Amino acid sequence: MSVQERKERERAGRERLIVAVARELAEQQGWDAVTTRRLAERIEYSQPVLYSHFRGKREIIGAVALEGAAEMAAALRAAARAEDGPHKRVAALARAYLDFAERNPAVYDAMFQLDGGLAFAREDTPEPLKDGFAALLESLGEVAGDGVHPGLFTEVFWASLHGLATLTRAGRLPPQDTEARVELLVDRLAVI
């Protein structure tokens, strides 16, 4: 039994290594540079080994996305917890979101721009994704306003942040006024 357990441990370790290397490579040189050949070379195995862990490149992107979602949820909760009062909390949340997107562009892409083969907004949505949305909902629910469904409000707020994050990073919005845009968004959307 012990032999098999050891093998499973090694396999799990190698799988974590694949995801970590994919993420690192993506952050360093962009997802285009994450080819199966390069990935295989970096983990010091041949290409087909990747396919014994993942069905394809898409699934590797999906694994990075899940890892990122868990981290983002934690970062959002930490930022919200550090502030008193709904308004300050929401502002901190928004900044933390955009900060995460800016600091981890490749991970953010894996989560929201690329196709990682993950289900969203459904029953079978993976737990880390649901939890990321929940982390937003926790702070945003209290500023949704009377008669507005908290979930719907969270969706709108999230979409707005997502728009700011992606357009800024793609050079579609000038980078200098980021802070002013966040303030405007929070002041208008959040009630009290």
Partner DNA sequence: TTGCTTGTCTAGCGATGCTAGGATCGAATC
Partner DNA sequence: GATTCGATCCTAGCATCGCTAGACAAGCAA
* 45 binds DNA, rule: CB under 7 A: yes
Minimum separation from the CB atom of position 60 to DNA (A): 8
* 47 binds DNA, rule: CB under 7 A: yes
* 29 binds DNA, rule: CB under 7 A: no
Report the residue number, 78 or 119, with the smaller CB distance to a second copy: 119
Minimum separation from the CB atom of position 11 to a second copy (A): 32
Q: Which does 169 bind (CB under 5 to 8 A by kind): a second copy, DNA, none?
A: none
Report the residue number, 14 or 130, with the smaller CB distance to DNA: 14
Report the residue number, 58 or 87, with the smaller CB distance to DNA: 58
Q: Name which of residues 48 to 77 contact DNA (CB under 7 A).
A: 48-49, 51-52, 56-58
Minimum separation from the CB atom of position 20 to DNA (A): 17
Report the residue number, 1 or 180, with the smaller CB distance to a second copy: 180
List CB contacts of 102: < 8 A, sequence separation 6 or more: 165, 168, 169
Residues forming the site for DNA (CB under 7 A)? 3, 7, 11, 34-38, 45-49, 51-52, 56-58
